[in-house]
Chains A and B, each alone.
Chain A
Amino acid sequence: MKAIEVEHLSFSYETGENEEKKNILHDLSFSVEQGESIAFIGPNGSGKSTLMKLLVALLEKDEGKITLLGQELNEDSVDDLRKKMGIIFQNPDNQFIGATVRDDIAFGLENRLIPHEDMEDIVREYALKVGMIDFLDKEPSSLSGGQKQRVAIAGVLSMKPEIVYMDEATAMLDPKGRKEIMELTSLMKKENPNMTILMVTHHMEEALLCDRIIVLHEGKAYLEGTPLYVFSHEQELKEIGLDLPFNLKLKSALKKEDFSFDEDEDIKEIMKNICHA
């Protein structure tokens, strides 16, 4: 089954009287299989967060059709569908409801009618997974930037939603922390093969680990395909202000300086060969 089907989606924000109305998304179509992980990349202001909000019906589309888990997203289905989805916002402060980290993670579980006796165990399990077990009694507002993001991630993942949206959910984490979260999501996907993940990121290394990448630009899908396919379009990506992951950038720089090597080979092998050439 398809987790997400977006057909001819258009959207523009309300504008003031003197402002020109601008289509943020324009006739956008794409679909996502259940169990897939998709990275949305694109320049600042390209509509990534807007798209996430449309998919959870926090914004209302102008035109087009959104189908989630086989149901068309509309007034009748939205409550039911929201129970199956979880979103981590770009700013984690928009997320917190509970007075403590424990309450905050538990809140989502309560909403999903998880029995009370299981709750504490689940809260602890996920707090541990994101490295926040020592902070259960703290107020979310009194955490550091990276700690807030970790709690927001625990809160959403603990509910095991069928579709997870992560809007720059790791932007305040260090590279190690980002890796840990990527490992956590891929573990969750293994345990829950139907879990679909959509993440928005400016970190190309993160996008590289997803099944597929969709590049948003000027309201449309500018490029779409496997990470290997998308990142083989260096010029097109550069044109809109995007970049390659480190290894590919290094290969490209070596090639420009006339080093010869087999491009499919692992970067370490390539470097060794260059050293010994």
Chain B
Amino acid sequence: MSRINFDHVYYTYDVSSPLPSVALEDISFTLEGHFFSAIIGHTGSGKSTLVQQINALLRPTKGRVIVGEFEINEGKKKIKEIKSLRKNVGVVFQFSEYQLFEETVLKDVSFGPKNFSDSDEDATLKAKNALKKVGIKEEYFTKSPFELSGGEKRRVAIAGMIAMNPEILVLDEPTAGLDPKGAQEILDLFKELYDQGTSILIITHDMNLVLKYCNQVLLMHQGKLKGIYAPSELFYQEELLLETGIDAPEIIEIVKLCEENGLSLNRKEIKDITSLVREIKRCKGK
């Protein structure tokens, strides 16, 4: 059972400098059980700062973050505990190419499992499986991760986390830089992991993704948590979206247009084009 709890968390960059910048202000929420959630918000609203607290890359300036049995606060933790925290929570960062560092793609992805005491053989096997799942062909295994294209690097970084099979997988913009089919396959992979028990937290600007896959959305606005919503409700709240600078997915406008023209669609059912067309057919008795 996975649990992430933020308890009045504040974070300020460069606290003691003449130009401190407040990035998180009084964030409190709990994600519990088995979740597939999203964090959304305008550029600079604090999303990436927030996720870096989850694996203690950044520590709250005030308040605390509790992930499973680990507590992250302003104090210093023993490294050993951080290591086991990072085994349980895999985070893929927004500029994930900086997470790559080994000589070859395969070594890079095996590093995690090996570091967490798998045998070399097991680690390699897990790495190969993970790479296959993210669409990296075998001929790339011996390449240097620095000699990959942008989208290939992101896939390898994602594979690195999947290979560790964490309880919670946190991904900051996982589909940025992926081609449309790649993005689709990666999301289907997350869905598969979710169905097998992994909890997923995605930071994204892709509202189509949020509508289609996520069961709850955390909306960030200027360093604060505006609220937690169901996607199928949030995207119809025009004023809230305007205030927080979010564009609803294109499909929402079509749903509204159909409603204005007499169809009574079941909004909860509409998650993508396929389900929209299905709903229209139902209404038209086709």
Tell me if A186 counts as interface (CB < 8 A to partner B).
no
Which of B43, B150, B273 has a CB less than 8 Å from the CB of A150?
B43
Residues from chain B with Cβ under 8 Å of A267 in the complex: 254
Chain A: interface residue total (CB-CB under 8 A): 50
Give which listed residue, A90, A137, A144, A254, contacts B43 with CB less than 8 A.
Answer: A144
- Known A257-B277, A276-B261: A174·B247 in contact at CB below 8 Å: yes
B254: which A residues are within 8 A, CB to CB?
250, 267, 271
Inter-chain contact A44/B48, CB cutoff 8 Å: no
Indicate whether A98 reaches chain B with its CB closer than 8 angstroms.
Answer: no
Among residues of A, the one whose C-beta sits closest to the C-beta of B94 is A145
A-B contacts, CB under 8 A, total: 129
Q: Is the CB of A49 within 8 A of B43?
A: no
Would you call A202 and B178 a contact (CB within 8 A)?
yes
Which residues of B216-252 have CB atoms within 8 Å of chain A's CB atoms?
Answer: 245-247, 250-251
Binding stretch for chain B, among A63-71, A116-124, A240-248 = A240-248
Q: Are A202 and B257 touching (Cβ within 8 A)?
A: no
Contact present for B95 and A93 (CB under 8 Å): yes
B-contacting 9-mer, from A2-10, A76-84, A107-115, A165-173 = A165-173
Q: Which one, B3-11, B81-89, B117-125, B179-187, is touching chain A?
A: B179-187
* Complex Cα spacing A177 to B45, Å: 14
Chain B stretch 159-178: residues in CB contact (< 8 A) with chain A: 173, 176-178
Q: A185 near B: Cβ within 8 Å?
A: no
Residues of A within 8 A of B150 (CB): 44, 49, 90-91, 168
Asked whether A58 is an interface residue with its Cβ less than 8 Å from the other chain, the reply is no
- A176 contacts B44, CB within 8 Å? no
Assuming the A-B contacts A174-B205, A246-B250, are A144 and B48 also in contact, with contact meaning beta carbons closer than 8 angstroms in the complex?
A: yes
CB-CB nearest in chain B for A47: B149
Please provide the chain A residues from 246 to 277 with a CB less than 8 Å away from any CB of chain B in the complex: 246-247, 249-250, 253-254, 257, 267-268, 271-272, 274-277
The reply to whether the CB of A227 lies closer than 8 angstroms to some CB of chain B is: no
Cβ-defined contact, A202 with B147, below 8 A: no
Given the complex, which residues of A lie within 8 Å of B147, measured CB to CB? 13
A45 to B97 CA separation, bound complex (whole angstroms) = 15
Interface size on B, residues (CB 8 A): 51
Do B152 and A137 touch (CB < 8 A)? no
Alpha-carbon gap, A137 to B20, bound state (A) = 12
Render B40-78 as a binary contact track against A, CB cut-off 8 A, 1 for contact: 001110011000000000000000000000000000000
> Chain B residues near A150 (CB, 8 Å)?
43
- Find B247's partner among A42, A175, A271 (CB 8 Å cutoff): A175
Whether B142 sits at the interface, judged by CB under 8 Å, is yes
Contacts of A18 in B (CB 8 A): 142
In the complex, which of the residues A44, A138, A275 contacts B258, with contact meaning CB atoms closer than 8 Å?
A275
| Across-interface contacts of B148 in A (CB, < 8 A) | 45
A: residues with CB less than 8 A from B are 13, 18-19, 42-45, 48-49, 90-91, 93, 137-138, 142-147, 150, 168, 171-177, 202, 204, 238, 241-243, 246-247, 249-250, 253-254, 257, 267-268, 271-272, 274-277
Q: Which 10 A/B pairs are nearest by Cβ-Cβ distance?
A: A44-B151, A241-B181, A146-B43, A275-B261, A243-B180, A174-B205, A246-B250, A43-B179, A175-B247, A144-B44
Known A93-B95, A150-B43; further 16 A-B contacts with Cβ < 8 A: A19-B142, A19-B143, A44-B178, A144-B47, A146-B44, A172-B176, A172-B205, A174-B247, A175-B207, A175-B247, A241-B180, A242-B179, A242-B181, A250-B251, A275-B261, A276-B261
A-B contacts, 5 of them at CB < 8 A, read: A44-B177, A172-B43, A173-B205, A174-B245, A241-B180
- Please report B residues at the A interface, Cβ cutoff 8 Å: 13-14, 19, 21, 42-44, 47-48, 94-95, 97, 142-143, 147-152, 155, 173, 176-183, 205, 207, 245-247, 250-251, 254, 257-258, 261-263, 273-274, 276-277, 280-281, 284, 286
